[in-house]
Amino acid sequence: FDLEQGLRKALIDSELQVYYQPFYAPGSGELVGAEALVRWPDKTGFVSPADFIPVAESTGQIRALGALVLKRACCDTRLLSEQLGKKLVIAVNVSPVQFASNDIIADLQEAINISGIDATQVVLEITEGVFIGQIAGAARLLEEVVAMGVRLSMDDFGQGYSSLSYLRMHPFSFLKIDKLFIQGMVQSPQDYALVQASVAMAQALQLGIVAEGVETREQLEMLESLSVDYAQGFYLARPMAFDEYQKVANIKH
């Protein structure tokens, strides 16, 4: 089975779906928005994005995939925001490869225009790979994205190389602490210290802080005591189809 060919067919036949994983304010339990996560159903379940995103990146299919996810996510979020009477945030993962060309700007603008969502509702989750790859023009494109009113979140913070200099040099609004540290923080004083230090730094830089991978009530309570702005994880909600997200949006956590 050839992933590239399979993915080409999936893109043509509209087989790809967008799932949503909500995130909440830890104290009030208020729903703030969701992260969009692409899903590719197969006979037994789903092909893992960890397997097909790298293929899409190397074949160039990431542009079509990325544009599709952006459009779907913005349209769904606009609809649910109308239904709730509250402007929900939508966080979309964007591959570093998508910053190798100007197309990301046009694709983002089209998703915003078609959906009628406010640019300020849209957050792009970006990993430090966008800087490490030395992609020419990536920094300028990030500035353009921010000029549109769209916000940037540093995803997987703390994983791999330190992203401190990137945070200082580029216009990020959010810092998303990697789930590895959240999962370790109750047992490991080191992980707890790293989360605490990340929160202090985010506050000093006036960044919002998101904790991902929250799997237990103990973790959530600890994050609340640390004044983390947003929490996301299986303990709160798993990634889900849009109809389920609509139902969950009416339930308080």
Q: Which chain residues interact with ligand G by CB under 6 A? A: 21, 37-38, 48-50, 53, 69, 93-95, 125, 155-156, 179, 212-215, 233-234, 239
125: contact with Mn ion by CB under 5 A: yes
**Residue 245 exposure: Cα atoms within 13 Å on the Cβ side:** 28
* H/E segment holding residue 126: strand 122-126
Which does residue 37 bind out of Na ion, Mn ion, ligand G, none, counting CB within 5 to 8 angstroms by kind?
A: ligand G
In the three-class reduction of DSSP (H, G, I as helix; E, B as strand; rest coil), residue 22 is classed as strand
| Counts of helices then strands in the chain (DSSP H, E) | 11, 9
Which does residue 38 bind out of ligand G, Na ion, Mn ion, none, counting CB within 5 to 8 angstroms by kind?
A: ligand G
Which does residue 50 bind out of Mn ion, ligand G, Na ion, none, counting CB within 5 to 8 angstroms by kind?
A: ligand G
Residue 210 to residue 215: CA distance in whole angstroms: 14
Residue 43 to residue 219: CA distance in whole angstroms: 35
Measured in whole angstroms, how far is the alpha carbon of residue 89 from the centre of its chain?
A: 10
Shortest Cβ 103–ligand G spacing (Å) = 14
C-beta closer to Mn ion: residue 81 or 93: 93
76: contact with Mn ion by CB under 5 A: no
156: contact with Na ion by CB under 5 A: yes
C-beta closer to Mn ion: residue 34 or 222: 34
Q: Are strands 31-41 and 230-231 parallel, antiparallel or unpaired?
A: unpaired
Q: Is 101 exposed, middle or buried (0-12, 13-18, 19+ CB in 10 A)?
A: middle
C-beta closer to ligand G: residue 211 or 249: 211
Scanning 86-94, 137-145, 190-198, 218-226 for contacts with Mn ion by CB under 5 A, the matching segment is 86-94
Binding residues (CB under 5 A) for Na ion: these are: 155-156
Binding residues (CB under 5 A) for Mn ion: these are: 93, 125, 155
